[in-house]
Amino acid sequence: MAIEPYDQRDGFIWFNGALLPWRDAKLHVLSHGLHYGSGVFEGQRAYDGEIFKLTEHSQRLVNSGKILGFDIPYSAEEISQACRDALKANNLADAYVRPIAWRGSEQMGVAAQLTKVNLAVAVWFWGAYFDPEQRLKGIRLTMAEYRRPDPRTAPCKSKATGLYMICTIEKHRAEGMGYADALMLDWRGQIAEATGANIFFVRGDEIHTPTPDCFLDGITRRTVIGLAKERGWNVIERAIMPEEMANFEQCFLTGSAAEVTPVSEIGDYRFKVGDITKTLMDAYSAYVRPVKEHQPLAAAV
Ligand code: PMP
């Protein structure tokens, strides 16, 4: 699959306060973030020129940095403005927005007290995260071998670059076997999430999803829970064991990139793309747009 290399594109990248020509947004090879994983990032989508849940994403970025022990030298509001500026500079309305903060090259070694924290925001067009045709039929997942770590083992509430090491390994393993993604269990053997998205199951008119106590409580996850509750569906957050998948009829993933993506298969378990999944998929697509077609207009006064 030919992809235009990400360092060889036209456009602008917001880099420590300035909009740089895309190809000039470089960092030094001796960056702490590269060697020791001291980086945190976000991923959000713009729809019709507006970035969905921008404040929540900017705040999570600031908080992710704090969990790793550093302060990003920009407030959440300034980060949000940088995202809007980057979107505008690239003249995009529907796009993926990627802010990233990392420790620089002022000090090498595990200690990083002297490093400065950098911030960049890139924006590009990114269509469906999963193959659009497969997505409507439900994507196929395999079971991952690695597990989401115990909160005592890793800073699991930070969207930290280093935590994606096991995700990339598992995503590659899954793709190598013809699957779209992998389902990761957690350190206790409970269902956790996919490599870049949260997971939900449906039984009757009940929606079950794992309690996010050792993985990201996704912003999309929380949005979809809200949309489901608005429709009167019971959403149950609890520990879910893998054997329980035999009792669920539907399954879907949620994430800023993945949006709401139906799942048809996980290992030996099969799911159908049922009404609740389809309704939430459509409800989410409508809700993310600045003009919210599904909401009744406020009565004129
Ligand atoms: N888990 C992981 C590992 C992710 O990378 C993401 C995507 N950021 C999510 C869950 C979903 O989070 P969100 O809905 O906030 O994008």
Q: Convert the chain into a string of H (helix), E (strand) and C (coil).
A: CCCCCCCCCCCEEEECCEEEEHHHCCCCCCCHHHHHCCEEECCEEEECCEECCHHHHHHHHHHHHHHCCCCCCCCHHHHHHHHHHHHHHCCCCCEEEEEEEEECCCCCCCCCCCCCEEEEEEEECCCCCCCHHHHHHCEEEEECCCCECCCCCCCCCCCEHHHHHHHHHHHHHHHHCCCCEEEEEECCCCEEEECCCEEEEEECCEEEEECCCCCCCCHHHHHHHHHHHHCCCEEEEECCCHHHHHHCCEEEEEECCCEEEEEEEECCEECCCCHHHHHHHHHHHHHCCCCCCCCCCCCCC
- For a mutational test of ligand 1's pocket, the pick from 216, 280, 287, i.e. the residue with the most ligand atoms closer than 8 A to its C-beta, is 216
Checking DSSP bridges between strand 117-124 and strand 12-15, what pairing results, if any? antiparallel
Which residue has the CA at smallest separation from atom 2 of ligand 1?
A: 196
Catalytic residue among 26, 159, 229, 278: 159
Asked if 159 is an active-site residue, the reply is yes
Phi-psi region of 138 (alpha: psi -120 to 50; beta: other; left: phi over 0): left
Domain(s) labelled CATH 3.30.470.10 in the chain stretch across 11-124
Average pLDDT of adjacent 10-residue blocks, the chain of 301 residues? 90 98 98 98 98 98 98 98 98 98 98 98 92 89 98 98 98 98 98 98 98 98 98 98 98 97 98 98 96 50 33
Residue 269, judged by CB atoms within 10 A of its CB (0-12, 13-18, 19+), counts as: buried
pTM score: 0.95
Q: How many CB atoms lie within 10 A of CB 69?
A: 12
Q: How confident is the model at residue 300, as a pLDDT?
A: 35
Task: Using most ligand atoms within 8 A of CB, pick from 211, 256, 260 the residue to mutate for ligand 1.
Answer: 256
Spell out which residues line ligand 1, taking CB within 6 angstroms: 43, 193, 196-198, 215-216, 218-221, 254-256
Q: Which tokens sit at 117?
A: 């924290």
User: Could you report the per-residue pLDDT of 133-160, keeping only the tens digit for each?
Assistant: 888 899 999 999 999 999 999 999 999 9
Q: What is the pLDDT of residue 39?
A: 98
Ligand 1 atom nearest to CA at 222: 14
Q: In a mutational test of the pocket of ligand 1, which residue from 161, 220, 261 has the highest number of ligand atoms less than 8 Å from its CB?
A: 220
Per-residue pLDDT tens digits for 175-190: 999 999 999 999 999 9
CATH of the structural domain 11-124, one choice from 3.30.420.40, 1.10.10.10, 3.90.1150.10, 3.30.470.10: 3.30.470.10
- Say what the pLDDT of residue 1 is: 63
Nearest-angstrom CA–CA distance, 217 and 139: 22
Q: Which residue owns the Cα nearest ligand 1 atom 13?
A: 218
β-pair partners for 148: 186
CA distance 117 to 119: 7
C-alpha torsion sign, points 112, 170, 58, 200: negative
> How far does the centroid of ligand 1 lie from the alpha carbon of residue 37, in Å?
18
Q: How far is the CA of 258 from the centre of ligand 1 (A)?
A: 9
- Six token digits for residue 294: 């599904």
Residue range(s) of every CATH 3.20.10.10 domain in the chain: 132-300
256 CA to centre of ligand 1 in angstroms: 7
**Residue 203 alpha carbon to ligand 1 centre in Å:** 24
**CA-angle at 150, arms to 262 and 180, nearest 5°:** 25
Question: What is the CA(292)–ligand 1 centre distance, in A?
Answer: 23
Atom of ligand 1 nearest to the CA of 219: 15
Give me the CATH code for the 132-300 domain, please. 3.20.10.10
pLDDT at 301: 33
- pLDDT score for 293: 54
